[in-house]
């Protein structure tokens, strides 16, 4: 199954963006995130079809370097650890017709650990598919224009950027890396709102009852007037 996915992505995959253009700037804070252990393994990786060879250690070294360069910049108060497992790759090779020249692809799994709690934050590993970025060199196939080392470096830098994007989504949508004090304040605020809800509902019910009583009186008055009019006629 993984081999089939690698084959499809190798034929069609390109992404148009720079993977390191933001590294010279100070990163936006990611809650209380600070980078801890940088663990990368590649002992179960699968080499896709029509790919250059690459050793486990080459991927481990390149990914550790790219991930460390990106995430060591964060200065939060709490340590979080990464466990990255390389699942499969395709490194485009030279010598193929341009129309069939494959693209380079990397697939990895990511686990994020909370150091203080000693627990994994994602219940299942997050699978990340990494494509080589579009450029004049990769458009005709990076195998024709880049060495294996450059391909591995570029894919590793793209992987680090995609990990950042994933963490930012989890921070915004799932509350990852929210400082405990902020989380406690939010919980207290939620509880206060919930406590006010029954009181508000009671007030609403009282107002509704009063409105209904007024409407009933008005309706009855209208009926009486209609009866009187009919009687007079």
Residues 196 and 114 in one domain: no
Residues 121 and 209 in one domain: no
pLDDT, greater one: 204 or 72: 72
User: What whole-number distance in Å separates Cα of residue 71 and Cα of residue 55?
Assistant: 25
Residues 185 and 169 in one domain: no
Q: What is the pTM for the complete model shown?
A: 0.69
- Burial class of residue 14 in the structure, from the number of CB atoms within 10 Å of its CB (0-12 exposed, 13-18 middle, 19+ buried): middle
* Helices 56-71 and 148-174, packing angle to 10 deg: 50
pLDDT tens digits along 206-216: 564 454 444 34
Q: How confident is the model at residue 22 (pLDDT cuts 50, 70, 90)?
A: confident
Q: What is the CATH number of the domain that holds 23?
A: 3.40.50
Q: In the predicted model, is pLDDT for residue 50 greater than 80?
A: yes
Range of lowest pLDDT (94-103, 115-124, 147-156, 216-225):
216-225
Structure token digits, residue 78: 């709490």
Domain boundary among 178, 196, 214: 178
| Type and span of the H or E element at 82 | strand 78-90
Residues 86 and 165 in one domain: yes
Residues 19 and 94 in one domain: yes
- Domain carrying residue 231: 181-233
Count of domains for the chain? 2
pLDDT tens digits along 165-195: 999 999 999 999 999 876 555 545 444 445 5
């Amino acid at each position: 199954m993984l081999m089939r996915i690698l084959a499809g992505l190798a034929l069609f995959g390109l992404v148009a963006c720079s993977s390191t253009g933001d590294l010279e700037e100070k990163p936006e804070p990611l809650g209380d995130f600070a980078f801890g252990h940088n663990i990368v393994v590649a002992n179960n990786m699968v080499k896709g079809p029509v790919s250059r060879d690459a050793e486990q250690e080459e991927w481990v070294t390149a990914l550790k370097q790219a991930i460390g360069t990106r995430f060591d910049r964060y200065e939060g108060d709490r340590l979080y650890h990464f466990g990255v497992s390389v699942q499969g790759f395709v490194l485009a090779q030279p010598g193929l017709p341009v129309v069939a020249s494959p693209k380079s692809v990397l697939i990895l799994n990511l686990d994020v650990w909370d150091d203080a709690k000693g627990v994994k934050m994602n219940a299942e590993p997050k699978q990340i598919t990494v494509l080589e970025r579009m450029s004049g060199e990769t458009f005709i196939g990076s195998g024709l224009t880049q060495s294996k080392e450059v391909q591995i470096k570029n894919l590793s830098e793209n992987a680090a950027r995609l990990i950042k994007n994933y963490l930012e989504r989890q921070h915004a949508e799932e509350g990852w890396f929210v400082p405990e004090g902020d989380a406690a304040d939010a919980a207290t605020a939620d509880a206060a709102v919930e406590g006010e809800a029954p009181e508000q509902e009671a007030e609403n019910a009282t107002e509704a009852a009063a409105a209904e009583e007024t409407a009933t009186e008005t309706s009855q008055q209208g009926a009486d007037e209609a009866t009187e009019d009919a009687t007079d006629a």
